[in-house]
Homo-oligomer: A and B are copies of this chain.
Amino acid sequence: MSLLPPQIQKTIEEFTKLPGIGPKSAERLTFHLLRSSKASPEGLGKALIELKSDIRYCNVCQMVTLLERCSICESAARDQGTILVVENPLEVIAFEKTGFKGVYHVLHGVLSPIDGMGPEQLKLKELVIRAKKGGVTEVIIATNPDVEGEATANYLRMQLKEYVPSITRLAHGLPMGADIEFADQVTLREALSGRRSL
């Protein structure tokens, strides 16, 4: 027989299913919620139960939204001919802070056969349909600079090249504030080959 009441055990178990939360953190979070005056289990619980309600993907760019089309795709102020392709919705939020004036396409993942992610699992078809319709002058591929991201970028280039005049990839190089001494050789090589005249 376990010492902890079943609803406490159940909550610990559900927290453990989340990425980066082990059994000890799950226990700590659960007991924090039991005692805390700031965080309440009911508040988080209610938010979670309502999380998926009415959430849908924008018909055009596949961003999470409540409407048929998201506000970016509806906006006349945005350049609908420049599409920035990202892996997930949070990256849209990140790029919005840069002042980017084009539109987005969210893939909801990257090609990764090991995780069972093939072209059918991603929102790739929808991007090709957008490109085929015409009017797209540039597709900027902003998948992460890792093996899966590079493979996805190459696959996208193959699929899009006959419909889109310009397909680009984000620049690779040293991040701002980096210390060259500690940069890895791949990054340094990219930074060298991508050098620009001052």
* Copies of this chain: 2
In the complex, which residue of chain B has the Cβ closest to the Cβ of A27? B90
Interface residues on A, range: 35 or more
Does A20 sit within 8 A of B, measured CB to CB? yes
Residues 21-44 of chain A: 1 if any B CB is under 8 Å from the residue's CB, otherwise 0?
Answer: 000010111111111101101111
Among listed A63-71, A125-133, A139-147, interface-contacting one = A63-71
CA separation between A72 and B27, bound complex, in Å?
20
Cβ-based interface call for A158 (8 A): no
Say whether A77 faces chain B, with CB atoms less than 8 Å apart: no
Query: Is there contact, CB below 8 Å, between A30 and B4?
Result: no
What residues of chain A have their CB less than 8 Å away from a CB belonging to chain B?
A: 1, 3-5, 7-8, 10-11, 13-15, 17-20, 25, 27-36, 38-39, 41-55, 63-66, 70-72, 88-90, 92-93, 96, 108
